[in-house]
Amino acid sequence: MKDTILVVGATGMLGEPVARQLQKDGYAVRVLARNPDKAKTKLGDSFDFIRGDVEDASSLVKAVDGCFGVHINLKGGPRAEDFVRIEQRGAANVARAAAQKGVQRLTYLSGAAAFEDNSWFPSIKAKLGAEAAIQESGVPYSIFCATHFMESLPLAVRGKRASVLGKQPHRLHWVAAGDYAGMVSRSFQLPDAANKRFFVFGPETWTMAEALEKYCAAVHPGVKVSSMPIWLLSLIGKVSFNAELQFIAELMRFFEKVGEGGDPTEANELLGTPTTTLEQWCEQQSKAA
């Protein structure tokens, strides 16, 4: 019989590639969804869907029952209290249910800026809180501190314009979600991957502007990449009472200050080095379009 892995947040941009990779690697994948019909429409019917909400602890006990592993892909926000409510407490609820039901491995997507020094920023504080709850649950864990994903580049394109918010001076090891998904899947198979924090970096470094220029040139020729001041987005967010825009402005202020941290050596040696270059990823996107 196949081992079952529950994926929390499989409908998400970074949860779906993990769910699909796990299935490809021979696991039975159960998807926790607040709205299973919507999730089925998005993901297709090859998964086993179970209704649940990370804020409803009782729904999680049933969801993790019989699972070998659980993968958590959650995004909180946009307000500080929503990060705590969804990402921190949500992950803690999943970890508690996993411990209760004897789950053998928990994996969680954190970030490459998740360090105590950066905990003044609400989403980082929630990620560190989620990590602590997972570590304290007693369930063997693998935490993935991933840098910026190539999959987030399309989010900067609006019609015929793509915007880099602020100066964004840091060079980042952009990683493809497919490479990360392979690492998560392998971590479930390796006893040595237990109780570790893995840093996930792609093979090359690009600034945000460079990466966006390359993406647009390859996938959206004709789209112009320009710089937009962060204060302008913040102002638009405030006057339109749009909390999401206000959060994106704060996030970009954070990224302007803070680059990626950590050392990917252990992750690369144990789980396989991400190899997809930005050019290769852009080619895949062009073909899929």
Does position 53 bind ligand NAP by CB under 6 A? yes
For ligand NAP, the closer CB: 116 or 160: 116
Query: What part of residues 68-97 is at the interface with ligand NAP (CB under 6 A)?
Result: 73-75, 86-87, 90
Neighbours of 244 (CB within 10 A): 11
Rounded Cα distance between 94 and 287, Å, is 37
Q: Write out the two tokens for 191.
A: 């006893």
CA-angle at 42, arms to 37 and 45, nearest 5°: 70
Neighbours of 246 (CB within 10 A): 19
Which part of the chain contacts ligand NAP (CB under 6 A), choosing from 3-11, 63-71, 237-245, 259-267? 3-11
Q: How far is the CB of 141 from ligand NAP (least distance, A)?
A: 16
Quick note: the x/- pattern for ligand NAP over 105-134, rule CB under 6 A, is ----x-x-----------------------
Nearer to ligand NAP, 36 or 66 (CB): 36
**Pick 65 or 239: Cβ nearer ligand NAP:** 65
Q: How far is the CB of 286 from ligand NAP (least distance, A)?
A: 20
Nearest to 153 by CA among 208, 222, 74: 208
- Residues 4-33 binding ligand NAP (CB under 6 A) are 8-9, 11-15, 32-33
Helices (H), the chain: 16-24, 36-43, 57-64, 80-82, 89-100, 122-136, 177-189, 208-219, 230-239, 243-257, 265-271, 278-288
- Which residues of the shown chain bind ligand NAP in the complex (CB under 6 A)? 8-9, 11-15, 32-34, 53-55, 73-75, 86-87, 90, 109, 111, 146, 148-149, 152
